[in-house]
Amino acid sequence: MLLQVHNLNKSFGRLAVLSDVSFEVREGELKSIIGPNGAGKTTLFNVITGRIPLDSGQILFRGQDVTGAKPFVLSRMGMARSFQINNFFPNLSTLDNIQLAIQSRLKTGTSSWRHFTKGDGVEEKSLEVLDWIGLGEHRGELAINLSYGDQRKLEIGLALGTDPSLLLLDEPTSGMSRYESRSMIDLIEKLSRRVTIILIEHDIELVMKVSHSVLVVHYGQKIAEGTPQEIERNGEVQRVYLGGL
Amino acid sequence: MVHGKNHLLIVMTGLALFLLGAPALFSDFYVDLVTKMMIFGIALLGYDIIAGYTGLVSLGHAMFLGLGGYCAAFTMKAFSTNLFPLLGVALVCALIVGFIVGYFSIQTKGIFFVFLTLAFAQFFYLAAFNLTTITGGDNGITLPKVTIGIPNLWETVVPRPQGFYYLALGFLVLAYLLCRRVISSPFGKLLVAIRENEERVGFLGFNARWLKIKAFMISAFLGVTAGVLFATYQDFVSPGMLHWTLSGDFIMMSILGGMGTLVGPVLGGAILLYVGDLLSSLTENWMIFIGSFFVLTILFAPQGILGLLYKMKGK
Amino acid sequence: MEIHFSTILTSLLHGLILGMVLVIVAGGLTIIFGMLDVLNFAHGSLYMLGGYLGFTLATVTGSFWLALILAPIIVGFIGFLIEFFTLRPLYGRPPLHHLLLTFGISLIIQNAIKFIWGNDIYTVSIPSFLSGPTRFLGISYPTYHLFVLFFSLGIAILIWLLISKTRYGVAVRAGTEDIETLEANGIDSRKLFTAVFVIGTALAAIAGAAIAPMRTVYPQMGIDIIIDAFIVVVIGGLGSIRGAVLGALLLGQAVQFGAVFLTGFADAAIYIVMAAILLLKPSGLVAETE
């Protein structure tokens, strides 16, 4: 088990955003989390990655209790995350953006004296990631000048560049056109063969196509979990969310 | 582009020769002014690291100058007038104070950071002002002449103004080279990243808090160095060196020259000191012009002089 | 030093007056911040301008009351010029730019005052019926001080009525959160911004003019008050009017208490409090009831 999440609870004031959420993610799995807007999906990510504190519950990553750990600690352990709203470095070039991610895995990544050498291969590794996500030809462009679709790719690229063992993707196709989404779907499929993924998505077609398992959240509670087929057939899920798929 | 590179080389060589030969060519008055410019430049380099590159604009940088100055004064009274022990003590103080102030300050951002650094600086100012038995209060402390060399072997009082001029020049060049190295290092890139999006830096696996503290401490080192040089140059230190209006001056100089460029703030400092000196001999109210000029800069050229130059080059 | 009731009462009153003046100055500052997201560094110099203008107007017209009315009007107009020509172009830029801009403006105003009035300290004369002491509760207290107290109180109440009872006041309290909602309700946000700035600066000026006879007008006035006002605004919470009131009254008492019983380090203690608030509860002491 790569990730184990037990009885997560989180409230904002009197509003319970997460109620007793538990699930597990196996290595190599692609688990999707779906549910209506406001169901608490992003909050779930925020809590797991340490962006906001839990009220109660436990998170185990690689068997270690990481409840309440800060984001940078989790990143070092191999958990990476992309954001629903773009959260990159707008005035740096695409290449520079990815280089920061690559840099994070190097021993000299924070050195103020020793510069990178050719041996470190920083630029190569960055270009490799860029090519992989299909942004190679935009390497010199400022991130803020990229098309929205490309920006969403960069968003994932930043997470990918940290060479994670667990990748949390928060609505990667959010705001994308049908055409742009296709590209993203292919990318995610490619990714799922390399790294364990937890995916938040609204695009049901995408979810059903790539997921090994699906978890349904509603009003902060887990209401169903299973294979895509099981979820499709689940009456309650249909009623609440899928609306006759 | 070859022409461009040649141009730059010629300018740099010319500048270097000019700076090296200046004391022989110009009057003591100008040598004194340029020495001050260079000492300020060291402080401004430190400020650019924390404010220009990391994006943490503090209103407390003067506290490090004052710290350097008072450390020098106390060390001189205690055991030595030699510059290197003075610097040594001051840098250790910078380490401690820089860490403590930095540790707390960087937990805030933006306006809150401005206020917090102001509060720290004012605290030091009040301490210097009120602890009259230790610091001499508003009257300050007069320092004996500083010396350089190796005690018991070869030691001499720093000759003025030429001696101090070359000393300041040497330190400025050293400081600049150090800063360049730091800025182009992996750490330096992270500072810019923090300015752009601190949260994501954390999510990439970096301890942003520690990086910010380190940047703050670097700015402290440079500020304190400038403080030691300034106090030993003036043979005097007073609470004025800690006052927030001096911090305000640093901000103005940095913005004028162009923040986040290293060269910009040094240039801005030199210009403001020169213009200030020029204007103050013409009218008592020269600050009005400086203030107006600053307002215009913020309105129309917030990237400073260097920013304008880059823009023009771009065209 | 013996502590009599009269000493305490006098001290309390001093602190209260200091506090009330700070309420008006810091109140204006915090409203401007809450509404425009601008930290007006020039606030102190405008307070100072109010004081110097008050002095000159009183001397020229011979009427203290006329000066008290005209000074804030003139300064308010200057505030309008500042907002219109220098702040408006900057809306949308990072808040630091506003801070720096107003810092530059404070330099201009401060030195312009020095240019016009010189480095002298001036005493403002007060109407004779306000001079001299008033006796009550066993103490003899300067009448003019009491006037300042009630005058400040009156202004504070006026502002409070304006804020809580009028449509525009509600808009100001809503702050910059929702420009769209304001416009949907038929309020021109740009005009409102200007109005808020003008009123804020006029308030600073009236405080300066009113307190002038008590403290004299002197070149350091602006610098002294701006730091105090900042401290109040931070402690009370940026944008919180109630916080500014609370902070100002607290600070007034603290400064007075410190001046009488401690010395020097009372100032330092205030900075420690400010630092603590910034670190532990940056939203200020008063919890905003949104």
User: Among A72-76, A176-180, B179-183, C228-232, whose mean pLDDT is lowest?
Assistant: A176-180
Confidence grade of residue C179 (pLDDT, cut at 50, 70, 90):
low
**Domain assignment of residue C228, yes or no:** no
Domain ranges (residues) in chain B? 32-243
Task: Check residue A175 and give its pLDDT.
Answer: 84
Confidence grade of residue C253 (pLDDT, cut at 50, 70, 90):
confident
pLDDT of B271 strictly over 70: yes
- B209 vs A232, which has greater pLDDT? B209
Kindly determine whether residue A112 and residue B182, on different chains, have CB atoms separated by under 8 Å: yes
Task: Check residue C5 and give its pLDDT.
Answer: 77
Give B47-62 pLDDT, tens digit per residue: 999 999 999 999 999 9
**Domain assignment of residue C247, yes or no:** no
Task: Check residue A134 and give its pLDDT.
Answer: 86
Task: Check residue C91 and give its pLDDT.
Answer: 82
Kindly determine whether residue B302 and residue C104, on different chains, have CB atoms separated by under 8 Å: no
Share of chain C above pLDDT 90, in %: 20
pLDDT of B1 strictly over 60: no
Kindly determine whether residue C107 and residue B288, on different chains, have CB atoms separated by under 8 Å: yes
> Domain A1-78+165-245 falls in which CATH fold?
Rossmann fold (3.40.50)
Q: Which of C38, C84, C108 to mutate: most B Cβ within 10 Å?
A: C108
Give A15-39 pLDDT, tens digit per residue: 889 999 999 999 999 999 998 887 7
Query: What is the average pLDDT across C270-274?
Result: 80
pLDDT of C33 strictly over 90: no
- C169 vs C123, which has greater pLDDT? C123
Task: Check residue C161 and give its pLDDT.
Answer: 82
Tell me if ipTM is over 0.90: yes
pTM for the whole structure: 0.89
pLDDT of B315 strictly over 60: no
Query: What is the average pLDDT across C139-146?
Result: 82
Task: Check residue B71 and give its pLDDT.
Answer: 93
**Total count of domains within chain C:** 1
Please tell me which of the candidates B115, B123, B291 has its beta carbon nearest to residue C278: B115
For chain C, the DSSP string reads ----HHHHHHHHHHHHHHHHHHHHHHHHHHHHHHHH----TTHHHHHHHHHHHHHHHHHHHS-HHHHHHHHHHHHHHHHHHHIIIIIGGGBTB-HHHHHHHHHHHHHHHHHHHHHHHTT--BPPP--GGG-SEEEETTEEEEHHHHHHHHHHHHHHHHHHHHHHHSHHHHHHHHGGGGHHHHHHTT--HHHHHHHHHHHHHHHHHHHHHHHHHHH-B-TTHHHHHHHHHHHHHHHH-TT-HHHHHHHHHHHHHHHHHHHHHS-SHHHHHHHHHHHHHHHH-TT-SSPP--
Q: Which residues on B lie below 8 Å from C110 (Cβ)?
A: 287
| Residues of chain B in Cβ contact (below 8 Å) with chain A | 181-182, 184-190, 192-193, 196-197, 199-208, 211, 214, 218
pLDDT of B174 strictly over 60: yes
**Domain assignment of residue C245, yes or no:** no
pLDDT of A181 strictly over 60: yes
**Domain assignment of residue C277, yes or no:** no
- B166 vs C168, which has greater pLDDT? B166
pLDDT of A164 strictly over 60: yes
Does C81 reach chain B within 8 Å, measured CB to CB? Answer: no
What is the number of alpha carbons within 13 Å of residue B2 lying toward its C-beta?
0
User: Among A52-66, C209-223, C254-268, whose mean pLDDT is lowest?
Assistant: C254-268
Q: Which residues on B lie below 8 Å from C108 (Cβ)?
A: 288, 291-292, 295
Give B126-153 pLDDT, tens digit per residue: 888 888 888 888 888 888 888 887 777 7
Domain ranges (residues) in chain A? 1-78+165-245, 88-163
Task: Check residue B217 and give its pLDDT.
Answer: 96
Confidence grade of residue C286 (pLDDT, cut at 50, 70, 90):
low
Task: Check residue C260 and give its pLDDT.
Answer: 63
pLDDT of C175 strictly over 70: no
Query: What is the average pLDDT across B296-313?
Result: 87
Task: Check residue B65 and give its pLDDT.
Answer: 96
Task: Check residue C289 and give its pLDDT.
Answer: 41
Does B133 reach chain C within 8 Å, measured CB to CB? Answer: no
Please tell me which of the candidates A81, A104, A115 has its beta carbon nearest to residue B206: A104
DSSP state of A119: G
Most confident of B164-178, C166-180, C269-283: B164-178
Task: Check residue C81 and give its pLDDT.
Answer: 94
Which residues, numbered 145 to 204 in chain C, qualify as contacts with chain B under a Cβ-Cβ cut-off of 8 Å?
none
Confidence grade of residue B4 (pLDDT, cut at 50, 70, 90):
low
Share of chain B above pLDDT 70, in %: 97
On whether the CB atoms of residues A158 and A170 are closer than 8 A, the answer is no
Query: What is the average pLDDT across C123-142?
Result: 78
Q: Which residues on B lie below 8 Å from A144 (Cβ)?
A: none
Q: Which chains touch A (3 or more CB pairs under 8 A)?
A: B
Most confident of A86-100, A127-141, C159-173: A86-100
- C287 vs B228, which has greater pLDDT? B228
